[in-house]
Structure 1
Amino acid sequence: MTSAPASFLSRLYPIWMWLVYVPLAALTTLVSAVLAVPLALLVSPRLANRCIAANWGRMLAWLVPVRVSVEGLDGVDPSRSYVVVANHQSQFDIPVVYGFSGLDLRWVAKAEVGRIPFVAAGCRAIGHVFINRSDPDQARTAINRAVERLKPGTGLMFFPEGTRSRSGELMRFKKGAFRVAIDQQLPLLPVSVIGSRDILPADSLRLRPGRVRLRFHAPIDTTGMSAADVGDLRRQAHEIIAEGLRTGHEA
């Protein structure tokens, strides 16, 4: 049963969200994007990503507030490059993974993000990849160019469902991320993002405090795999992430 103080605070939270959180989140995003461009161009994209973008994600989580716990990161070698795949249930997946994964990631994002003023400039300077999902040739070319620029310890991040799950159920994975991992012989790193839908559901403006868990699973070695193994790799990653979500929600 919800206590009276908690119920009262939940009714006040929308006021906090619109009068405090939204303006501060917008300002934080704007300032971070503006700072990231010169730092990435003049010093290092990695430094801009780790110092500016990661702190942007942490700040957005802190303002909600969202408590984030990370599991399994001790099994990840920060000096290696990975193709990282995660489920996608909320827009809040992005700041959470950005802020708390501890990894230097380049995101594969839909082309619409590349049209957001200031944000697009910051993302391009860092090296994130924008793809047109209706143009497979453009998407393949953009991803291949991004992979060529990857330095050791920098990973490529995909949401292989292609969009946010509206129902909360893990959807079928698209092949792109798994094809990249095999083509480049990079280890695949599955991640289960647990609880983000409770913070901000897809197609909703209802933001609420809560807890998100990032569960990093054991990397999958793709050495020796070929194009014929894309389907098996995709199914294996889907099963691992689904199991992480199931046991994570039960815990």
Structure 2
Amino acid sequence: MSWLLYTMAAPPILIVFLRFLSLILPGKMAQLVSFAAFFITSMIMMSISAMYGVFASIVLRTVGYGGLSQWTVARVFKWLMWYTTGVTFKVTNSGGEEALLTRPAVLLGNHQSELDVLMLGCTFPKYTSVTAKKSLKWAPFLGWFMTLSKTVFIDRANRTTARAAFDSAANTMRTERQNVFIFPEGTRSYAEQPELLPFKKGAFHLAIQAQVPIIPIVVANYAHVLNVKKREFHPGVIDVSVLPPISTKGMTAENVDALMKKTRDAMLDELIRLSHVSGEGNGMPLPRTSGRDEQSELRKRN
């Protein structure tokens, strides 16, 4: 029994030790040690949340509320990370929280790093499921939780099975009013500037097939909080902006390209604007394509 206690106590002791070292070591060494402490803490908090998620999903499915599984686990992860690392995401624009109540819908977000899992924890509305690569299905606890909580698993190497997964998701959205969250860039950008990778079309095909609106969720560039390339981490609150829903009513597959461009342009404009709201700007001029008055918008959002 003692070995189990030692095993459980080792990670917290290591984290405390690393955080102490980060206070006394010089510059670069302190930065790397702080990053290591954050990484280990995040893995532990995610594991705890996934284990909770397995049991929560079983209980919620038993009582007929399986669609809430990912939402309740997201909130647990949000608070665990806030109390242990001091980092969180916050919807800052007026009307953003109201837009998140739209359902069913396809929610789209820009994908910067592994920290976006916490962004989901902070913004995830009720009755929402994520998409994930099929290989995660077999991961202990995390895969079990995701399987039990209606995750849409995608086999990116097989177009036939990927299309079947989206067909099933579209049907679930219509019949159970379940949202689906997708990162349309398909991979993390690790961007240090307000920029987006090219979008993939799957999310837009899904929204049109289900005839549900798209809700763009734009996360401010947070390289000043977490920079994976440079191994830097600093606690902080990261701004999130939820744009108005984009209707897909009456659209067909022929409209996918135009819909994708419209959505990406709106998200990129807001991403650049968020960088100015934060006071950084990153050398990018404010966009003028939205038709909104730039200075009044900045005043309103500050």
* Cα deviation code 1:29-64 (max 9, x no counterpart): 223222222321232323332222322134224432
Deviates more, 1:111-120 or 1:86-95: 111-120
Give distance in 1, aligned partners of 2:100 and 2:197. Answer: 28
1:1-251 aligned at under 5 Å gives the runs 12=30, 14-19=32-37, 21-43=38-60, 44-70=65-91, 71=93, 72-76=95-99, 78=101, 80-150=103-173, 154-167=178-191, 168=193, 169-201=195-227, 205-251=231-277
- Opposite residue 202 of structure 2, the aligned amino acid is G
Equivalent AA in structure 2 for residue 137 of structure 1: T
- Residue aligned with 1:196, SS: coil
For residues 175 and 47 of structure 1, the distance between their equivalents in structure 2, rounded to whole angstroms, comes to 27
C-alpha distance in 2, partners of 1:155/1:210?
Answer: 29
Residue pair 1:93, 1:196 contacting (<8 A) in 2 also: no
2:42 is matched by which residue type in structure 1? A
Q: Are residues 203 and 82 of structure 1, via their aligned partners in 2, closer, same or farther at CA, if it must alter by over 3 Å?
A: farther
**Structure 1 contact 90–197 (Cα < 8 Å) conserved:** no
Query: Deviation of residue 191 (structure 1)?
Result: 1.2
Displacement after TM superposition at 1:12 (Å):
4.2
Shift in alpha-carbon separation, 1:74–1:250, aligned structure 2, 3 A = same
With over 3 angstroms needed to count, the CA separation of the structure-2 counterparts of 1:198 and 1:104, relative to structure 1, is farther
TM-score, with structure 2 as normaliser: 0.72
Contact in 2 for aligned 1:79/1:153 (Cα 8 Å): no
**Structure 1 residues 14 and 58 mapped into 2: Cα distance closer, same or farther (>3 Å)?**
farther
Deviates more, 1:198-207 or 1:67-76: 198-207
**Which one is further off, 102-111 or 177-186?**
102-111
Q: How many residues align?
A: 245
Q: Compared with structure 1, are the counterparts of its residues 173 and 79 closer, same or farther at alpha carbon in structure 2 (3 Å cutoff)?
A: closer
Kept after mapping to 2: 8 A contact 1:173/1:238: yes
Q: Which moved more, 1:85-94 or 1:98-107?
A: 98-107
Q: 1:57 to 1:140 in 2, by over 3 A?
A: farther
* Amino acid of the structure 2 residue aligned with 1:26: M
- Separation in structure 1 between the aligned mates of residue 90 and residue 28 of structure 2, nearest angstrom: 23
Amino acid at match of 1:31: I
- Unpaired runs of at least 5, structure 2: 1-22, 278-302
Structure 1, gaps ≥5 residues long: none
TM-superposed deviation, 1:9 = 9.0
What CA distance in whole angstroms lies between the structure 2 residues aligned with 1:187 and 1:116?
A: 32
Name which one, 1 or 2, has greater alpha-carbon Rg.
2
Q: What's the offset of the Cα at 1:162?
A: 0.8
Contact 1:162–1:173 under 8 Å retained in 2: yes
Equivalent position amino acid for 1:226 in 2: T
**Deviation, structure 1 residue 216:** 0.3
**Stretch moving more, 55-64 or 183-192:** 55-64
How far apart are the structure 2 equivalents of 1:17 and 1:131? 31
Aligned-residue RMSD, C-alpha: 2.7
Question: Following the alignment from structure 2 to structure 1, what is the Cα–Cα distance between the partners of residues 189 and 204?
Answer: 20
- The percent identity for this pair of structures is 24
Instruction: State which drifts further: 240-249 or 84-93.
Output: 84-93
CA distance, structure 2, for counterparts of residue 126 and residue 203 of structure 1: 32
Structure 1 residue matching 2:145: 3-state secondary structure: helix
AA aligned to 1:114 is K
- CA distance in 1 between counterparts of 2:229 and 2:131 reads 21
Aligned-partner SS, 1:121 = helix
What is the CA-CA distance between 1:79 and the residue it aligns to?
Answer: 5.5
Structure 2 residue matching 1:191: 3-state secondary structure: strand
Counterpart residue identity of residue 249, structure 2? T
Runs of 4+ in 1 over 6 A off after TM superposition: 7-11
